Amino acid sequence: MSTPTKTTDFPIPLGPGAPVIPVDLAGGAGAARARGIANSVAVPDAVLDRLRAACAKVDTDAATCAETSRDWWALGLRWARDGKLAGVAAAVARPRTAAQVAAVLRICNDARVPVTAVAGRSGVCGASVPVFGGVLLDLCDLSGIVSVDDTSLVVDVLPGTFGDYFEHELRTKHGVTVGHWPQSIALSTVGGWIACRGAGQLSNRYGKIEDMVVGLDVALADGTILRTGGAPRAAVGPDLNQLFVGSEGTLGIIVGCRLRLHPAPAAERRGAWAFRSFADALDACRRVLRRGLPPAVLRLYDAHEANHKYQTGDRHLLLALDEGDRAVVDASFAILADELASAEKADPELVGKWMGHRNEVASPTKLLEGGLAWDTMEVTGSWRALPEIYERTVAAVRAVKHTLVCSAHQSHAYTDGACLYFTFVGRPPDDDGAWEAYYNAAWTAGTHAVLAAGGNLSHHHGVGMNRARFMREALGPALGTLVAVKNALDPNGILNPGKLGLPSSFGRVDWP
Ligand SMILES: Cc1cc2nc3c(=O)[nH]c(=O)nc-3n(C[C@H](O)[C@H](O)[C@H](O)COP(=O)(O)OP(=O)(O)OC[C@H]3O[C@@H](n4cnc5c(N)ncnc54)[C@H](O)[C@@H]3O)c2cc1C
C-alpha cells in the first residue's frame, strides 16, 4: 500500500508558456474520437468562413482539435489511453484581442454553436472539455502584462498569461508579487485561475484568487464587452466581479484582469511541528488563525502523507512558512510559537524539502501504466466540522473496493474553517470499464461523505464535468438562481454547455 511517487522527469516548461500535454492520445491525436456521451455540434462552413474573417487564427485539422479538446481530468487521461475524448471540437479559434473574442462569440451566438474557453488546459475536472463539440476559444494568445501601478499595487494582465512567466516578470521587473502560487503555476493561466476560483500555496497571506481580483473585462455571449469592479471596495450593488470568478466559462469570457499586488517579500521564516492526533493538529491551526496573523503557509499532513513524503512515522506534520515584511513575519512566528508551545518540534528543514518539490507533478502516464486510478478532492468545512469530515471521508473512500489509500492534508486556512485536500489511489482490475467504475464510485462515496458531514463541494478545483452531478445536492434551491443568471446572460446557452451542473441547450450529457 503506497501512494504513487512524485517524479522529477516530467517536462514542465518554463517561459511565456503553453499547455502541457499530460498523456499521449493512443493512436495519435488525429485518430482520436469522442466517446459519444453527448450530441456533437458541427460548425457549418459558412460559420467557419465568418470566424476566419474575424479571428487571428482558426484551426480545423483533426489532430489540433483533438489535442486542444482535453485537460488534466484524471478520467479524461484514462480515456486518452483508449484514444477517446469526452468531446471533440470542430474548430479552435485563437483570438489575439478582446475585440476578436467578442466577434467569435457574436458569430457563434448567431449560429447557435457551443463555445468553450480553454487556456492552460490544466483543469482537473474536465471544465474545458468541449463535450458538445463546436468551437474551442483558445485564449493563450491574449497574453502579457498590460501595466503595473506600483503606487496603488494593481496589475493589469491579459487572461492567457501563464503563471510562472507572470510571477517572474512581476518580481524581476517590478519588485512585486501577486502571491498566487498554485502547484500548477507553470501549467495554468491567470484567466483559468479566475474562472476556476483557484488557490495558491501561500493563500493564508495573499488570499485566494477571488480576494485578488480588483476588476475584470468580460465578453458576454452576444459579444458585449463589460467592465466590472475597478475600485478598492464598492457599495454599488452586488459585486459583479464575483459573478464571473468561478463561473468556469459558462457566463462570459474574461478578456482583461486587474489584480492586487504586494511588495516582493523582504523576509522569510520556516518552522515544523509534529502531532499524535490529526484533530489536535487541526485545532492548533484553528487557534493560530484566530490570532489574526497566520503565516502564508500552514500545511498539515496526516500521518500517512507525512510519512510518505517526509518519513515521519506515525506523526501528523505541520509545516509553516511566512514571507513578507520582517515585522509581520516575526509577529506571525511569535504567535506560532505561542500556540504550538506544547507540540513536538520537527525539523524545519522539512519546509525546505517541501519548497524544493512543491511544483512537481506525478507523471500520469506512469500511474496509468502501473494500473493505478487516482484523484484529489479539495473541500472546505468549518473548524467544528473538519475532524468529522476527515474521518468520514477517509473511511468512505477506503471502503470502496480496490482502494489502496485515501489520505489528506490541510492546505488553506481561514478564521472559520479550512480546506482538506484528499488524495485517493486504487488499483482496479485491468478490464474494460473497471477503472472508470472504481473512479466514479470513489468520487461518489467521498463526496457524499463530505457533504453529509457538513463540508462543501470544492475549495479551488471547481466543478467542470466531474462534479456536475453533485451540484443539486451541494447548492439545493440556490442552483435555480445560478440557472436563472445563466439564462439571462447566455440565453442561447452557447457558453461551455454541459458544465457546472447547468442544463444545456444542446441536450444531455450521458455520463456517468
Ligand atoms: C498538477 C496540477 C496541480 C494543480 N494545482 C492547483 C493548485 O494548487 N491550485 C489550484 O487552484 N488549482 C490547481 N490545479 C488545477 C488547475 O491548474 C487550475 O484549475 C487552473 O486555474 C486552471 O487554469 P488553466 O489556465 O489551465 O485553465 P483551463 O484548464 O484551460 O480552463 C479551466 C476552466 O476555466 C475556463 N476558462 C479558462 N480561461 C478562461 C477565460 N479567460 N474566461 C473564461 N473562462 C475561462 C475554461 O472554460 C474552463 O472551464 C492543478 C492542476 C494540475 C494538473
Domain architecture of the chain: domains with CATH: 29-138 (3.30.43.10), 145-263 (3.30.465.10), 267-355 (3.30.70.3450), 364-459 (3.30.300.330)
Q: How far is the CA of 191 from the centre of ligand 1 (A)?
A: 8
Give the pLDDT confidence of 73-82 residue by residue, as tens digits.
999 999 999 9
- DSSP state for residue 25 in the 8-state scheme: P
Give the pLDDT confidence of 230-287 residue by residue, as tens digits.
999 999 999 999 999 999 999 999 999 999 999 999 999 999 999 999 999 999 999 9
Mutational test site, ligand 1, from 100, 165, 167, 188, max ligand atoms within 8 Å of CB: 188
Q: Which three cell numbers stand for residue 330?
A: 516575526
Atom of ligand 1 nearest to the CA of 122: 26
Ranges of residues in the chain with a pLDDT under 70 are 1-15
Q: What is the pLDDT of residue 2?
A: 31
Task: Compute the residue count for the chain.
Answer: 512
Q: What is the pLDDT of residue 451?
A: 98
Q: Of 40, 114, 34, which Cα lies nearest the Cα of 76?
A: 34
What is the residue with the minimal CA distance to atom 36 of ligand 1?
Answer: 192
Atom of ligand 1 nearest to the CA of 181: 8
Atom of ligand 1 nearest to the CA of 182: 8
Average pLDDT, the chain: 95
218 phi/psi in degrees, rounded to 5: -130, 130
Q: How far is the CA of 143 from the centre of ligand 1 (A)?
A: 15
Q: What is the pLDDT of residue 5?
A: 31
* Helix, strand or coil, per DSSP, at residue 81: coil
Nearest 5 degrees, angle CA 356-CA 360-CA 365? Answer: 155
Mutational test site, ligand 1, from 122, 217, 412, 496, max ligand atoms within 8 Å of CB: 122
CB 113 within 8 A of CB 134: yes
Predicted TM-score (pTM) of the model is: 0.97
Give the pLDDT confidence of 456-491 residue by residue, as tens digits.
999 999 999 999 999 999 999 999 999 999 999 999
Q: Cα 252 to the chain's mean position, in Å?
A: 18
Q: What is the pLDDT of residue 432?
A: 75
Atom of ligand 1 nearest to the CA of 197: 11
Q: Of 88, 250, 183, which Cα lies nearest the Cα of 412?
A: 183
Please state, in angstroms and rounded to a whole number, the distance separating the CA atoms of residues 473 and 254. 28
Q: Cα 104 to the chain's mean position, in Å?
A: 26
N- to C-terminal Cα distance for the chain?
A: 28
